[in-house]
Structure 1
Amino acid sequence: MRQLQVFLGIAEMGTTSAAGQKIALSQSATSAALNELEAALQVQLFDRVGKGLLLNENGRLLLPQAHLVLDAVRSMEAQFAQPDAAWPGLRIAASTTIGNYYLPDLFAHLQSTVATNKASGLPSLFIGNTSDVVQRIENYEADIGFIEGECHQAGIVVEPWLQEQLILVCHPQHALAQAAGQRCSVSDLQKEAWLLREAGSGTRETVEQYLSQQLQAFRCAGELGNSEAIKYAVAAGLGLSCLSVAVVQELLAAGRLIQLHPEFAPCERRFSLIYQAHKSASAQLAHFLQLVRRWPSVTQTAAPGEAGAAT
């Protein structure tokens, strides 16, 4: 097992010294483990290029199998280390809006299903953009991913999960906000400054495609790394944006943002579940997936923050 950990570390980091630091081994011990693995398999796994190591064809063949073996071992260790836990060692990765606004209610629902003789610990949660989540699933660093954007990687299963609406928002004193009851025209919106998420974000992908289709041309005045920053920038009068209802509902209720109603169709998107096609599912993981797939029926008429009460 240590040899496979070393192999994966070198494949990721590119040198034995960097891999050793990642897995807390000396460079000599890392090199020795690689030599032992190559001797056992009777093949070389890397091409030596300068001071670095690059996976060769043999290494690329071994890579997914090594991930599978270590993932199975990790799941087994977690289950036996926490026999009374509801979700032993379960690793979740989610893109930003889902992780911040939807998963807390989902976790509350999951906790309500836990038997009284089970520990109440939560799954571990990583939050990043869609590309970060896909990468974690590819590298077997997460068991289940929740994404807002697209995923076309081979070997990853993509399941439709929830539908969500994004709305146009502006500062209450913005000129477009003063035309109460009127729909905003394409020409009006083309003139405005738009605030967007960073490249690689599922929200950015959805909004950029939507605005391009509806406005043909629009001006991006700035990119910000999360939707929280964008909504407060809009509330400060720095531009318009198109954001998840879940993200802006609090500032809308407080009167710090105004929803704009365009003369064209609203923006909708689909959230998806993703996971490795060849991953062996433990009983806990299978049960978790079953509950997650059922959860949209609880929340389809409830905004985030209300779903826990609905359960």
Structure 2
Amino acid sequence: MDVLHLTLRQLQIFVAVARSGSTTAAAEAIALSQSATSAALQELERLLSLRLFDRVGKRLLLNDNGRALLPRAEALLAGAGDIERLAQDSDAQRAALRIGASLTVADHGVPAVLAAFLGDRPRAAPHWQTTVTVGNTAQICGLVAAHALDIGLIEGPHHDASLVAQPWLEDELVVVGTPAVATTQGSTLADLAEAVWLLRETGSATREISDQALAPRIGPYRRRIELGSNAALRQAALAGLGLACLSRRVVAEDLARGQLQTVAAPLPRISRQWHWVLQAGRQPTPALAALIALLPTLAQTDGPPP
């Protein structure tokens, strides 16, 4: 006897026949033809050189050999199931992602990205594990470089040679204030030079892009208030504290309602590219590769909603 020729399928069929008492019922239970079930059972008995059942009419009843084999076969099948579950757990681990996002992307991009990603993988959703770490662009790039994050989704340029980056979405920035502030502090470039500026902190991509666009035209900020989030800037602008340069996505509803308006001063269009960043040389997992492949398709459909 060469036990290496035994298969789990044969043992599964044996257990099904033992429980049901016939090859016909067993075949229905395991979605196999009756002839294939009978053939597999006969092959198992041949390999073992043992009869496992007594034939009584149309019934198959376990004999002593079959009763001795049954618990061992059930144990082997249970062990195989444990191995399959281990593989599924490994798949779940490979499906887990540690995502970092800068503030604008976290608020106005990540929810749409995750919804589209999981929508394409309904069977993966129950096992999906992900964390989203939010910070400014410099912080997220630092965490990706330190291998604390699998991928960073950032809204501006990065300056770390250990990272690779690709753009995936264009984002427009606008200078806004309440109607009164936008009129009194934003009608001309001279007005902008004297305005109170509501600014993100150093290290923020929003701050870097706005500085690059504004400094050549209005010089250094004479009056400024620095705040650490887009939400705080938006609320400060709504409160009439000054002018803010923010993603149009952040203030779209306020502009539509007339609570904020763009300034009339002659400024160029201010835009930037959202990028994904990875450690250079990293081989993406299947889940990470799928996420990266999804990002350009969102941009082609106008991206996450403004």
* TM-score computed with the length of structure 2 as normaliser: 0.66
How is 1:118-129 mapped onto 2 (pairs within 5 angstroms)?
118-119=125-126, 121=128, 123-129=130-136
Alignment-mate amino acid for residue 175 of structure 2: L
Q: Which residue of 2 aligns with 1:288?
A: 291
* Structure 1 contact 184–260 (Cα < 8 Å) conserved: yes
Number of positions where the alignment pairs a residue of Structure 1 with one of Structure 2: 221
- CA–CA distance in structure 2, aligned partners of residues 118 and 95 of structure 1: 24
How is 1:16-165 mapped onto 2 (pairs within 5 angstroms)?
80=87, 82-83=89-90, 85=92, 88-116=95-123, 118-119=125-126, 121=128, 123-165=130-172
- CA–CA distance in structure 2, aligned partners of residues 284 and 114 of structure 1: 10
Which structure's CA Rg is the greater one?
2
Poorly superposed stretches of 4+, deviation over 3 Å:
79-87, 115-118
- CA–CA distance in structure 1, aligned partners of residues 107 and 121 of structure 2: 22
Q: CA RMSD in A?
A: 2.4
Alignment-mate amino acid for residue 305 of structure 2: A
Residue 247 in structure 1 maps to residue 250 in structure 2: yes
> How far did residue 194 of structure 1 move?
0.5
1:173 aligned residue (172, 180, 189):
180
Q: In the superposition, relative to structure 1, how do residues 109 and 250 fare at CA in structure 2: closer, same or farther (>3 Å)? A: same
Q: Which one has the bigger helix percentage?
A: 2
Residue 272 in structure 1 maps to residue 279 in structure 2: no
* Structure 1 contact 162–272 (Cα < 8 Å) conserved: yes
- CA–CA distance in structure 2, aligned partners of residues 87 and 98 of structure 1: 24
- CA–CA distance in structure 1, aligned partners of residues 93 and 122 of structure 2: 8
Unpaired runs of 5+ residues, structure 1, are 1-78, 305-311
> How far did residue 275 of structure 1 move?
0.1
SS of the residue aligned with 1:174? helix
Which has the larger displacement, 108-117 or 143-152? 108-117
Alignment-mate amino acid for residue 145 of structure 1: G
Q: Which residue of 2 aligns with 1:25?
A: none
Q: In the superposition, relative to structure 1, how do residues 120 and 260 fare at CA in structure 2: closer, same or farther (>3 Å)? A: farther
Which has the larger displacement, 228-237 or 118-127? 118-127
